[in-house]
């Protein structure tokens, strides 16, 4: 069966696989009953039935392989179907059922906690298409990385190339989701791979004698040359020999990664190897899987088979064949050979798989959102963007804004009435800078920016457990920014409702002092405030510029256009909002 994104009818393919699976399961069940009957009759009455047992056992193994392959297709198409459902949810910004990445929330991080990168209704829920824990962690780390234009350009090139191969993107994600479901830590497995295995040359004797002796004993019993009881004696001898390597195989079985993990790696490697790539970065990421002597997919497929055998050694069919032909020796020999030759590659491949997962996530996100804006990274300390919108708002509801911060302007003082859009706009600018740093296209028609390290102070709350007030929390946050400024870093800061935890007189004095202190550094940014008195600083400080969001009151209703405007806000709506909430002012 073959999958082609956009042409394969997923629901129809899933129905066909389920019908085929039912037929294979039914056939396998009746064949198993016949095999048991043939073995019993062969050992007790008519030895010729042992031959029938062997032939039917081979057919049974074939049916198992076919059933498992078909089961894999069912899982694959099921995940493709669920991915389409999740795509619809992301489009409508209904994100509550998606992985929130809340474990990556970091309160002391320069910006991640304020910009809704993680948690409920977050950017992570929009972007994330990873499936492994380490892949998810890498994507989260990229989202929290320092601004780096060179790394962003490298990712952007890879994302643009991957976007053109939608079949690869869908297949890569669906394969991981289908098989990597109960991921376990691989620390013990990697430790086992680094340890030498004690294969003794003596083991070659039962490795050869087991199959030859088993076949000879069975044929001799079938043709009446010996009594069937000799088969039982042969099995007892086999148990003695098999005990020599039982502990080694049991240890390998216990620390093997989940079969689904290895199956996923094998399928991922196969997908990566088949790709024809142009970009230098993607070619570097493909190279470890295409060795001159071997392909990673072949090696991983071999490990998948060994893992399956090791973890199913107590399956009834395996036990029967193992007692007759001592196949544990062959399995152990093949495992030792694989370990000696390829053990050092597996951990390296897993690290590369994490990078591929993160890039697939970013490329899939780009396709789902149909992002096209190219980032213009400038050597100047500027920002110039048009029609900038917040990615977490529904596309039909988001209002675009134009914004520029030239070389000479160091601080934009943002005033405006309550709920007019000040905080949302600052978050819009900040989160789009994070998106640009990921190599993605921002949610804008144009986006030009200098190289800044991003810093925000918006959600400063009290902490009873640490005896910290919200005002002290904000001061600690500002201290972080001042330390960065003193170190000479080029920072774009976004400070919301500055020093709101103290009285008006102290707040205005403190805000003015902070503005002047930051202006003497390499930092620049936006400060929002309700203190309209601060807007008078524009006439005194040539590096400060006033911008604002407005509201209109008509028929006891407040209306917002959510568009940023030049100059300070001419009017505020707190008085009217309090009236609408039932507060009665004396006249």
> What tens digit of pLDDT does each residue of 532-569 get?
889 899 999 999 999 998 877 656 666 778 899 999 87
Helices 259-274 & 327-369 angle (0-180, nearest 10):
60
Whether the CA torsion 119, 124, 130, 136 is positive or negative: it is negative
Instruction: Give the rounded distance of the alpha carbon of 548 from its chain centre.
Output: 39
Domain layout of the chain by residue ranges: 375-580
- Give the span between the Cα atoms of 29 and 27, in whole angstroms: 5
pLDDT at 2: 59
| pLDDT reading at 572 higher than 60 | no
Pairing of strands 383-388, 401-405: antiparallel
pTM of the model: 0.86
pLDDT at 190: 84
Q: Quick one: pLDDT band at residue 462, thresholds 50, 70, 90?
A: very low
pLDDT at 420: 77
Q: What is the pLDDT of residues 202-219, one digit of tens each?
A: 999 999 999 999 889 888
Q: What is the pLDDT of residues 502-518, one digit of tens each?
A: 778 888 898 899 999 99
pLDDT at 64: 86
- Give the span between the Cα atoms of 124 and 39, in whole angstroms: 57
124 in Cβ contact with 100 (< 8 Å) = yes
pLDDT at 343: 81
The angle formed by the CA atoms of residues 349, 353 and 358, to the nearest 5 degrees, is: 155
pLDDT at 199: 86
Mean pLDDT estimate for the chain: 88
pLDDT at 197: 80
> Which H or E run includes 565?
strand 565-566
pLDDT (mean) for 477-492: 93
- Beta-carbon neighbour count of residue 281 at 10 Å? 18
Q: Quick one: pLDDT band at residue 585, thresholds 50, 70, 90?
A: low
| pLDDT reading at 464 higher than 50 | no
- Give the span between the Cα atoms of 534 and 548, in whole angstroms: 13
Burial code (b: 16+ CB inside 10 Å, e: under 16) for 131-153 equals bbebbbbbbbebbbeebebeebe
> Which two three-digit tokens encode residue 31?
């064949």
Whether the CA torsion 393, 394, 397, 399 is positive or negative: it is positive
- Characterise 563 by phi-psi region: left (phi > 0), alpha (psi -120 to 50), beta (else): beta
| pLDDT reading at 51 higher than 60 | yes
| pLDDT reading at 5 higher than 70 | no
Q: What is the pLDDT of residues 442-458, one digit of tens each?
A: 999 999 999 999 999 98
Whether the CA torsion 113, 116, 118, 119 is positive or negative: it is positive
pLDDT (mean) for 241-257: 88
Q: Quick one: pLDDT band at residue 579, thresholds 50, 70, 90?
A: low
443 in Cβ contact with 388 (< 8 Å) = yes
Q: In what order do the strands lie in the sheet with 446-449?
A: 375-377, 446-449, 383-388, 401-405
| pLDDT reading at 157 higher than 80 | yes
Q: Quick one: pLDDT band at residue 465, thresholds 50, 70, 90?
A: very low
CATH assignment of 375-580? 3.40.50.300
- Give the span between the Cα atoms of 345 and 502, in whole angstroms: 59
pLDDT at 582: 56
259 in Cβ contact with 307 (< 8 Å) = yes
Name the least confident of 174-188, 206-220, 456-470.
Answer: 456-470
> Which H or E run includes 83?
helix 48-91
> Which H or E run includes 340?
helix 327-369
- Give the span between the Cα atoms of 279 and 484, in whole angstroms: 36
| pLDDT reading at 266 higher than 70 | yes
| pLDDT reading at 141 higher than 90 | yes
pLDDT at 158: 97
- Beta-carbon neighbour count of residue 527 at 10 Å? 24
pLDDT at 467: 37
């Amino acid at each position: 069966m073959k999958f082609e994104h956009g042409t394969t009818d997923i629901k129809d393919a899933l129905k066909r696989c389920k019908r085929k699976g039912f037929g294979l399961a039914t056939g396998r069940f009746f064949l198993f009953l016949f095999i048991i009957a043939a073995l019993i009759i062969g050992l007790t009455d008519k030895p010729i039935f042992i031959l029938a047992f062997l032939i039917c056992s081979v057919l049974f193994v074939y049916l198992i392989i076919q059933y498992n392959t078909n089961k894999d297709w069912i899982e694959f198409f099921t995940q493709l179907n669920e991915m389409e459902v999740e795509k619809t949810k992301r489009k409508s910004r209904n994100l509550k059922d998606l992985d929130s990445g809340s474990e990556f929330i970091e309160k002391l991080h320069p910006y991640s906690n304020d910009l809704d990168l993680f948690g409920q209704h977050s950017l992570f829920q929009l972007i994330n298409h990873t499936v492994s824990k380490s892949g998810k962690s890498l994507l989260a780390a990229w989202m929290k990385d320092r601004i780096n234009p060179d790394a962003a350009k490298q990712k952007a090139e890879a994302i643009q190339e991957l976007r053109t191969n939608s079949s690869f993107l869908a297949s890569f994600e669906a394969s991981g989701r289908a098989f990597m479901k109960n991921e376990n830590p691989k620390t013990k497995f990697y430790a086992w791979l680094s340890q030498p295995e004690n294969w003794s040359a003596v083991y070659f004797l039962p490795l050869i004698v087991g199959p030859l002796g088993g076949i000879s004993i069975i044929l001799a019993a079938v043709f009446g040359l010996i009594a069937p009881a000799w088969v039982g004696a042969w099995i007892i001898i086999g148990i003695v020999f098999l005990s020599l390597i039982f502990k080694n195989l049991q240890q390998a079985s216990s620390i093997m990664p989940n079969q689904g993990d290895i199956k996923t790696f094998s399928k991922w490697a196969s997908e990566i190897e088949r790709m024809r790539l142009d970009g230098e970065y993607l070619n570097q990421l493909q190279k470890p899987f295409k060795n001159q002597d071997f392909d990673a997919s072949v090696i991983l497929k071999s490990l998948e088979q060994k893992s399956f055998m090791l973890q199913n050694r107590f399956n009834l069919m395996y036990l029967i064949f193992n007692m007759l032909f001592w196949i544990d020796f062959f399995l152990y020999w093949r495992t030792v050979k694989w370990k000696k030759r390829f053990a050092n590659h597996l951990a390296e491949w897993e690290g590369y798989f994490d990078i591929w997962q993160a890039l697939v996530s970013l490329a899939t996100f780009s396709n789902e959102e149909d992002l096209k804006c190219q980032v213009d990274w400038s050597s100047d300390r500027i920002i110039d963007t048009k029609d900038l919108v917040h990615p977490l708002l529904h596309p039909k509801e988001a209002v675009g804004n134009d914004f520029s911060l030239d070389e000479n302007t160091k601080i934009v003082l943002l005033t405006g009435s309550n709920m007019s859009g000040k905080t949302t706009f600052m978050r819009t600018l900040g989160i789009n800078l994070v998106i640009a740093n990921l190599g993605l296209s921002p949610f804008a028609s144009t986006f030009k920016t200098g190289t800044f390290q991003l810093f925000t102070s918006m959600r400063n709350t009290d902490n009873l457990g640490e005896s910290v007030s919200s005002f002290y929390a904000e001061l600690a946050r500002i201290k972080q920014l001042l330390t960065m400024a003193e170190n000479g870093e080029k920072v774009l800061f976004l400070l919301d409702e500055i020093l709101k935890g103290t009285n008006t007189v102290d707040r205005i004095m403190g805000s003015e002092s902070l503005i002047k202190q930051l202006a003497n550094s390499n930092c620049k940014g936006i400060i929002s405030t309700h203190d309209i008195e601060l807007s008078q600083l524009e006439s005194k400080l040539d590096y400060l510029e006033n911008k604002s969001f407005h509201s209109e009151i008509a028929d006891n209703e407040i209306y917002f256009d959510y568009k940023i405007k030049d100059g300070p806000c001419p009017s505020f709506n707190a008085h009217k909002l309090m009236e609408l909430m039932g507060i009665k002012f004396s006249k």
